[in-house]
Every structure is written in C-alpha cells, then in structure tokens.
A and B are shown apart, each in its own frame.
Chain A
Amino acid sequence: MEIPYTVKPRPDTGLYNAKIGIWLFLASEVMLFGALFSSYILLRVGAPDGFWPDVPTAWPHGLLNVPLGTFNTAVLITSSMTVMMAWTALKENNFAKFRKFMTVTLLCAVLFLCIKGYEYNDKFTHYVIRLKDGSALTGHLEINGSSPRFWTEDTLAAKKLESVEVLQDIPTVLRYPSGFKHEEVAHEPGEHHIKREIKTADIQSLRPFVPATGTFFAIYFTMTFLHALHIIGGVLVMGYMTFVGGGMWKTEPERYTNRIESVGLFWHFVDLVWIFLFPVMYLL
C-alpha cells in the first residue's frame, strides 16, 4: 500500500506530510529552547551584585572565548548555506553535486563539535580558587606540565601536594574585608595569565568550571550541550540520508528531495538556535 501525501501536498494543508511533521517537531523544539532562554534571562536578571568569583552566584563576564565562538558561528552559517545548496542541487537533478555539498555540511558540523569539545575541555581545566585569607582568583592549574581536569580541594589532599602552580587570569578579582575590588596584577601588554605558586594549605576550596560551580556554568552547559546533542542528531540523520539512504534517489527522487528538505529545515533550526546562543552567552 502506498503511503499518501509523501510527495504531493494534502489538499487541506497544502503541504506534504513530512513538512507538517517536521514543523510540528520544530514547534516543540521552540518551546524547549524558549523555556531555557527564558530561564537564562531570569537567572541573569536575578543574579546578585558583586564580582564573580567572590560572589559565586554573581554573573561572570568574559569567561568564554569570543574568537572561537565567532569562528563556530561562521562554521554553522556556512553549513546552512551548503545544506541549502545540496537541496537546490537535488531540485536540479544533480545528485553528485548534492553529495558534495552534504559532505561539506557534515564536515562543518563535525568541526563545530570539535571546537565545542576544545572549549569544554578548557573549562574543565579552568578553576576558581578560594583562599583562606578571603580572596578568590581564577586560572588554570599546572601540574607536571599538564592541566588536570575536575580537581577539587579533596584531590589536592589525596595527592598530598604541598603547593600548586596556577596560571592566574588577568584581570583578577579579589575580595578584601573592606569590600570587592579588581586587583591590578603587573603584566606585559597582551599577557592574559601570570604564573603563581599557591601553597595547598592556603587553599580553602578548588572548583573547576563545571555546572555545579555556579548558576552561569549550569545554564551555559545545559544550553550548549543540548544544542550539541541536536548537532550530533543532525550529523547522524544527514550522514544516513546522504550515504546509506541515498538509494531512494533512484527509485523515488521527489520523495527523497522532500526528505532532504525536512532535514534542511531541522538543520536551519539548530543553526538558528546557535545564532541566538552566541550573542547571549559570549557577547552580552
């Protein structure tokens, strides 16, 4: 039995079924990401005054790598253009050209994930260190030439280290009994870190930049990881449609073209979410 309206539009909706289906799915996705964006705004507006990391729930600024974020944005914009060109190639009955553009799209998606992975790794090796004198600073730990991930003060105690080397971020925020202030650390122009040795006995707490460390990291990882999951989903579907399911082009070309249109709609939505995530998380 033939499935109706896979190619021709239904008379009542004017659309073929897959298009209705994908738009209903995207509507539910808008609600999901809409709720998360609303949460982000409410958390940020409700964040207390004061400098992060002295006030753990205060909103930190400048923690994300803007050049990398911008590059990733460019990668996703390019992927949207190539998925569009792939669909156009099918409309022009050029399957070879379609495959070429889809391959570029897939490569862009994988590149995006690799860069996101690099950014995540940088956060996992980045720490907020609170000292017993009441001050707090941020930076990367350097132990035997490598940057350890997910360490806490318990790890320091377990490893029985007397002191740790820290690549302290510039500018640094310190808290004093008289109030908060930015500490001006002497450094060369263009330098973003200075090396400093801290005795383990002086450390009150050591926390990596993970969701449990603060509200900002919780919402940042939730939103970007959910987005990354969508990218992975898109890669799997696009990869299948291009290389495994491509045989349908020979038997039912119109239906195949419609499927690619649905995939393209999903991909554009995922990219559009990033277009909003980027300025909200990285720039504002």
Chain B
Amino acid sequence: MSLKTFHIVFITVCVLLLLFLSGWAFSNSRQGGGILDAVWGSLALATAVALAVYGQRFLKRLKHISFL
C-alpha cells in the first residue's frame, strides 16, 4: 500500500471521527450544553465536509501515482 492509499484511508477515518465529534457535540448541546456545543458540532461538521472535498481533490491531483 503506497502513501497515497494510506492517506486516503487516513482522511476517510478523520472524516468519520469528525462526524462522530459533531454528533457528540450536538447531543451535548441538546442535553443542556448550550450554544458553545452547537458551535462546536457545526465546526466539526464543516471540517468533515472540507476534508472530504480535500480527499477528492487530492485523488484527482495524484492520478498518476500508483495505489500499491
């Protein structure tokens, strides 16, 4: 597995972590955590989307490098 492939795996796991973090923060916000937790959740969600977009662009840019 090349660094390119491992990077894609890494970014995918990071996106999943950020989605989890976002859910965790929104859940805290609903249980009386307040506006800060809601902002936290929104930031995590936005970062997850940004990372997913980065991953897609990265894949396009490194088309010529092998996955092995």
Q: Give the interface of A toward B (CB within 8 A).
A: 14-15, 19, 23, 70, 73-74, 77, 80-81, 84, 87-88, 91, 261, 264-265, 268-269, 271-272, 275, 278-279, 283
Contact = CB atoms under 8 A, between A and B. Distances in A.
Interface in B9-47: 9-10, 13-14, 17, 20-21, 24, 47
Name B's interface SS: helix
A24 to B, nearest CB: 13
Of B4, B6, B58, which is in contact with the most chain A CB atoms at under 10 Å from its CB? B6
Contacts of A279: 17, 20-21, 24
Nearest to B54: A81
Contact of A278 (B1, B17, B68): B17
Nearest to B65: A91
B6 to A, nearest CB: 5
Contacts of A14: 68
Contacts of A84: 3-4, 7, 58
Nearest to A23: B1
Specify the main secondary structure of chain A where it touches its partner: helix
A268 B3 contact: yes
Contacts of B51: 77
Contacts of B56: none
A70 B10 contact: no
A275 B47 CA distance: 15
Nearest to A189: B34
A271 B7 CA distance: 11
A278 B17 CA distance: 9
Nearest to A261: B3
A87 B3 CA distance: 9
A268 B17 contact: no
Nearest to B44: A70
Given A70-B21, A88-B62, A279-B17, A80 B10 contact: yes
12 contacts: A70-B21, A80-B7, A81-B54, A84-B58, A88-B61, A91-B65, A261-B3, A265-B3, A268-B6, A269-B6, A278-B17, A279-B20
